[in-house]
Amino acid sequence: MRLTPNLNNAPVDLFSSLAAASAGNAQQGGTALGSMITGGDGREFRWCYAGGTTLVAGNLQQAPAQIANHIGLVIVNPQAVGDTQLTVTLGGTAATANQYAGGYVQIYSATGGGLQYQISSHPAQATTTGNVTLNLFDPILVAITTSSTASLVLNPYNGIIVNPTTATSAPVGVAPWALTTATFGWVQTHGVANVLNDSSTTVGLGVAPSAATPGAVKTMAATLCQVGFALQTGTTTDFCAVYLTL
């Protein structure tokens, strides 16, 4: 399994060690997407790439939208234990070069089901139902037959967007500052954060993504995805303290 070094700094200094990211970086800088930096005060941040919208400070952010046509794909060739490639047939949506680099291929059904492998690279496939060969960081652990199927999973920090009112993936953190589209920077995932409020949250209760205001949170309900706990009573359209647990 490919592991990324922990980028611990204690404490996190938002005005020096992370200041270069405040306006976004045009280059990835050799840091793997999803790498974590931890501060002595318990806050955690992960390295991300802003997707189709500018990330707004204090707004909840979401992983890139799932691609339904890349779930449950046909595996073209059997793969033996130790192999580091897997070829799948796309299900109706094309793939750009390295779109899934740093993401995962998961065995969806049959032999090998439940296992996942991290993707290092792959070529583009402009044909919506064409084959694409995935190069893997992880060797195949259980021999895979063509009766198995596979799903492609994007790196959740590659192309994040302001959390929409209708979920298209899962929340991944809160932007500690504005991050311009198509740049790299940090998103906060744990600890005390300043977050846009919707529907007057109650101190001490869990909070979840708002279904009315993009990027906002509201008091948790049984059917919602919890992202943290309110440290203060929140007022609609204002920002309040939330302890993130992402």
In a domain, 220, yes or no: yes
The one-character DSSP state at 163 is P
Taking the C-alpha atoms of residue 149 and residue 241, their distance in angstroms, rounded to an integer, is 44
Name residue 78's amino acid. P
Q: How far apart are the first and last CA of the chain?
A: 23
Quote the pLDDT of residue 24. 56
Q: Mean pLDDT per 10-residue run, the chain (246 residues)?
A: 44 47 56 85 90 91 97 96 97 97 95 94 97 96 95 96 95 92 91 93 93 94 89 93 96
Per the structure, the complete domain to which residue 92 belongs is given by 68-153
The predicted pLDDT at position 29 comes to: 61
pLDDT in the model for residue 32? 87
Single residue among 125, 153, 181 that ends a domain in this structure: 153
Q: Looking at the structure, tell me whether residues 188 and 229 fall in a common domain.
A: yes
Of 96, 124, 153, which residue is a domain's last? Answer: 153
Rounded (5°) CA angle 70-170-39: 125
| Domains of the chain: total | 2
Closest CA to 133 of 150, 155, 157, 115: 150
pLDDT of residue 175: 94
CB atoms within 10 A of CB 46: 21
Look up the CATH number of the domain holding residue 88. Answer: 2.40.30
Return d(Cα 31, Cα 45) in angstroms, integer: 13
pLDDT at res. 19: 43
Regarding whether 82 and 28 lie in a shared domain, the answer is: no
